[in-house]
Amino acid sequence: MSFQTQRIKNYLTLQFLFFLKDFYFSLLQKSDTENILIQEFVEAIGKNYYWHLYKISDYLTLLRDFVFWESREVYLTSMEKFAAGELSGSEFVNTVYYTILADKRESTTLETDFEKQARSELNPEIFQFSKIIKDFEFVLSIFDEEEPEISSITEDQLRAIIKKELPKIQKYFIDRS
């Protein structure tokens, strides 16, 4: 099956998934019955929902990757400059952390914006890019240069982490410039 055919199938499955989700969680809230048949029906809907969610997990990853990839230059440039000592910890965190948060919001919005999904150029070659970037979120959130006594990580430790992880980001840029 071609990538485009699979994408259309996943796109339609995602639309159905949101219908199932609304239906399932609505039933859960209203279902206080002792009737075993109704309970089994609700359970079957739930299993169907989670099965479909599992089936399109790669598609959801591609949607997130699409959003994060649009900010790729910010991530790469900031990481390279910080690793080289051209940016302070605060400058780096302010740029990258808030870009990550914005991209997370945008990717959540994209999951339900079917018109935008249809127009988006999803690229299987950037699969898992968003995961690598989102893995930095926690480390960035615990860095506080202005109050080092409450910061859980120093600027040198943050720089060492970025230097170690930077090749994972750079590999996405080889032959894709």
Q: What is the pLDDT of residues 39-84, one digit of tens each?
A: 899 999 999 999 999 999 999 999 999 999 999 999 999 999 999 9
The total of structural domains in the chain comes to 2
Mean pLDDT (the chain) is: 90
Rg of the chain over all Cα atoms, to the nearest angstrom: 21
Listed residues 34, 55, 76: the one ending a domain? 55
Separation of alpha carbons 62 and 69, rounded Å: 10
Give a yes or no: residue 177 inside a domain. no
Q: Do 84 and 50 share a domain, yes or no?
A: no
Q: How far is CA 31 from CA 41, 75, 169, in A?
A: 11, 46, 47
Instruction: Find out whether 166 and 133 touch, Cβ atoms under 8 Å.
Output: no
Provide the residue type at 176 as one letter: R
| 123 within a domain of the structure (yes/no) | yes
pLDDT score at 130: 96
Q: Are residues 110 and 96 in the same domain?
A: yes
Q: Which helix (H) or strand (E) holds 167?
A: helix 155-170
* Same domain, residue pair 78 and 152: yes
The reported pTM is 0.82
Report pLDDT digits (tens) over 167-177. 999 999 985 55
Residue 123 near residue 72, CB atoms below 8 Å: no
Q: Which domain holds residue 160?
A: 59-170
Q: Is residue 49 located within the same domain as residue 65?
A: no
Token readout for 111 is 């999951």
pLDDT given for residue 175 in this prediction: 59
Task: Tell me whether residue 106 is in a domain.
Answer: yes
Same domain as 39, residue 92 = no
Pair 40, 66 in one domain: no
Q: Do 63 and 146 sit in the same domain of this protein? A: yes
The Cα–Cα gap between 120 and 114 comes to 10
Judge if 64 and 83 occupy the same domain: yes
Instruction: Say how far residue 42 (Cα) sits from the centre of its chain.
Output: 29
- Residue 38 shares a structural domain with residue 74: no
d(CA 162, CA 157): 9
Closest CA to 158 of 80, 73, 93: 93
- Residue in 109, 131, 136, 128 with CA at minimum distance from that of residue 120: 109
Residues 101 and 146 in one domain: yes
Q: Are 116 and 152 found together in one domain?
A: yes
Q: How confident is the model at residue 111 (pLDDT cuts 50, 70, 90)?
A: very high
Question: Does residue 176 sit within a domain?
Answer: no
- Within-domain flag for 95: yes
- Take residue 148 and report the two structure tokens written for it: 């080092």
Between the CA of residue 126 and those of 41, 81, 131, 135, 145, what are the distances in Å?
A: 39, 22, 11, 16, 32
